[in-house]
Amino acid sequence: MKKTRVISSRLVLALVAGVLLPVMARAQQVAITFDDLPVHSALPSGETRMQVAASVLQTLKAANMPPVYGFVNGVHLQRQPQLIEVLDAWRAAGNPLGDHSWSHMDLNKNSLEEFESNVLQNQSVLRKAMGKDDWRWLRFPYLSEGDTQEKRAGVRAFLLQQGYRIAGVTMSFEDYAWNEPYARCSAKGDTAAITQLESSYLAAAASSIDYYRGLSKTLYGRDIPYVLLMHIGAFDARMLPRLLELYRSRGFTFITLNQAEKDEFYREDTDLALPPGPDNLEGAMWVRQMQPPARPHAPASLQTICK
Exposure string of 197-222, with b = 16+ CB inside 10 Å and e = fewer, is: bbebbbebbbebbebbbebbeebeee
Cα 233 to Cα 41: distance, rounded to the nearest angstrom: 6
Does residue 96 contact residue 134 with C-beta atoms inside 8 Å?
A: yes
Does residue 39 contact residue 83 with C-beta atoms inside 8 Å?
A: yes
**Model pLDDT for residues 54-68, shown as the tens digit of each residue:** 999 999 999 999 999
Half-sphere exposure of 206 (CA within 13 A, CB side): 11
Is the overall model pTM greater than 0.85, yes or no? yes
Residue 234: how many other CB atoms lie within 10 Å: 25
pLDDT at 24: 40
Mean pLDDT of each 10-residue bin along the chain, 307 residues long: 36 37 61 98 97 98 98 97 98 98 98 98 98 97 97 98 98 98 98 98 98 98 98 98 98 98 97 93 96 96 97
Q: Show the DSSP H helices in 234-280 as ranges.
A: 234-249, 257-260, 267-270
